[in-house]
Amino acid sequence: MGWNRSEEFYEEAQKWIPGGVNSPVRSARAVGTHPIFVRKGRGCRLWDEDGNEYIDYVGSWGPLILGHAHPLVVEAVRKAVENGTSYGIPTRLEIEMARKIVEMVPSMEMVRMVNSGTEATMSAVRLARGFTGRKKIIKFNGCYHGHGDSLLVQSGSGVMTLGIPGSPGIPEEIVQHTLSLPYNRLEDLHQAMARIGNQVAAVIVEPVAANMGVVLPHADFLPGLRKVCDEHGALLIFDEVITGFRLGPGGAQERYGIMPDLTCLGKIIGGGLPVGAYGGRREIMQKMAPAGDVYQAGTLSGNPLAMSAGLATLEVLSRPGVYEELAEKTAYLTSGLEAAANDSGVPVTMNVLESLGSGFFTQGPVVDLETALQANTRAYGVFFREMLKRGIYLAPSQFEAFFVSLAHEKKDLDCTIEAAGPAFMRVREVFGA
């Protein structure tokens, strides 16, 4: 397998685009190589500019739960584009999308469409502040809620991968209102709330963290958040940009039976087109302009192509049995990978839920940022490169998730498990057991 063309494109890209990529997580620096440049995707497969073929476990970082270029999504977008790409005037597609989301996500009574997950979380935070009249926000270390100023504190995803603690350019006056606490540790939250509870507008959390690798909530964590928010009059915001429609039709909130006040969505609801959404209790959402006085806007919000792709995706996800199929496929893959890791003697901790997972190169357990950071990132880098050579495309960072789609078939999963054997062995040769 050669990557001459990708190398050339990467060199060229760096002349015109900072770091050669339009989002830091796409850089493969953390895994000791350069990005591949993609030419096309179909089903669970990708082809790069050198003609190499890969089984893809990134799926555009989560949206492609049906796989690349699903025929129903392609058809829906094709039909929509023939009527124009954007109007900046309401369409009935937006009502259909809002109705569908409200039907599927238990806590959401109203929803506002935006263009990215970052926009969704930024807007939800503004709304929480506007609704409560308070300034402070509590988040959790290793959770990533996009790159809005208030939330880029002790963040996961690219910030964690690159080892950037915060970011220059964000004024101290803004982040002084954000407190970041350890994930899964309710005692710390209780202590903080005892001090500043009456100033806290919202507690925002990834109900299943997926931006420090995948970290599952302890049984008492989400109920504890709900309780403490109620006690102190703060809103609870679930960032379900990754988990929404991924862990089941109603996301993490349905799975764990905890109703947040506001929910942020993105990724899957756009079927691979740029999208985000936030919504929740009617009483809170009615604060948004023009119904209320909290302002947020967007030229392309509710874009007809994104709505069409998203609706086609949600239609498929409403069919009986799809989540069972996704879970079965993922369980099959996970047990195969675990067996391959065990055979090689390399310690790997698999944190997996439904079709979302991570394999940490550490003995584990991985329950928060501190334990995630125990992972041997250089070992992951070796594993990533060995898998890439064998035609398996994983996230180019230890601290991201893998995503299984409906398009992954048993033969693809078998191929992946087969590739993992020698890849783990190579990790063992380099690092020992």
Residues lying near ligand HOZ in the complex (CB under 6 A) are found at: 23, 25, 61, 144, 157-158, 211, 400
Minimum Å distance from CB 372 to ligand HOZ?
Answer: 13
Peptide bond just before 165 cis, omega within 30 deg: no
Q: Which CB sits closer to ligand HOZ, 213 or 224?
A: 213
Minimum Å distance from CB 352 to ligand HOZ?
Answer: 17
Task: For residue 54, indicate whether it is catalytic.
Answer: no
Minimum Å distance from CB 147 to ligand HOZ?
Answer: 8
Joined together, the tokens standing for residue 310 give 């998203």
Neighbouring residues of 67: CB distance < 8 A, sequence distance ≥ 6: 41, 42, 43, 44, 59, 405, 406, 407, 408
Minimum Å distance from CB 4 to ligand HOZ?
Answer: 26
Minimum Å distance from CB 103 to ligand HOZ?
Answer: 26
Give me the amino acid identity at 102. V
Paired strand residues for 359: 350
* Secondary structure, 3-state, the chain: CCCHHHHHHHHHHHHHCHHHCCCHHHCCHHHCCCCCCEEEEEECEEEECCCCEEEECCHHHCCCCCCECCHHHHHHHHHHHCCCCCCCCCCHHHHHHHHHHHHHCCCCCEEEEECCHHHHHHHHHHHHHHHHCCCEEEEECCCCCCCCHHHCCCCCHHHHHCCCCCCCCCCHHHHCCEEEECCCCHHHHHHHHHHHHHHEEEEEECCCECCCCCECCCCCHHHHHHHHHHHHCCEEEEECCCCCCCCCCCHHHHHHCCCCCEEEEEHHHHCCCCCEEEEECHHHHCCECCCCCECCCCCCCCCHHHHHHHHHHHHHHCCCCHHHHHHHHHHHHHHHHHHHHHHHCCCCEEEEECCEEEEECCCCCCCCHHHHCCCCHHHHHHHHHHHHHCCEECCCCCCCCEECCCCCCHHHHHHHHHHHHHHHHHHHHHHCC
Q: Which CB sits closer to ligand HOZ, 211 or 330?
A: 211
Joined together, the tokens standing for residue 86 give 């954007």
Task: Single out the catalytic residue among 100, 136, 139, 267.
Answer: 267
Minimum Å distance from CB 117 to ligand HOZ?
Answer: 7
Rounded CA gap, 352 and 359, in Å? 8
Q: Which CB sits closer to ligand HOZ, 242 or 294?
A: 242
Minimum Å distance from CB 25 to ligand HOZ?
Answer: 4
Rounded CA gap, 328 and 362, in Å? 25
Task: Single out the catalytic residue among 10, 54, 57, 144.
Answer: 144
Task: For residue 227, indicate whether it is catalytic.
Answer: no
Task: Single out the catalytic residue among 48, 239, 261, 368.
Answer: 239
Q: Which CB sits closer to ligand HOZ, 111 or 214?
A: 214
Task: For residue 239, indicate whether it is catalytic.
Answer: yes
Minimum Å distance from CB 269 to ligand HOZ?
Answer: 14
Q: Which amino acids are annotated catalytic?
A: 144, 239, 267
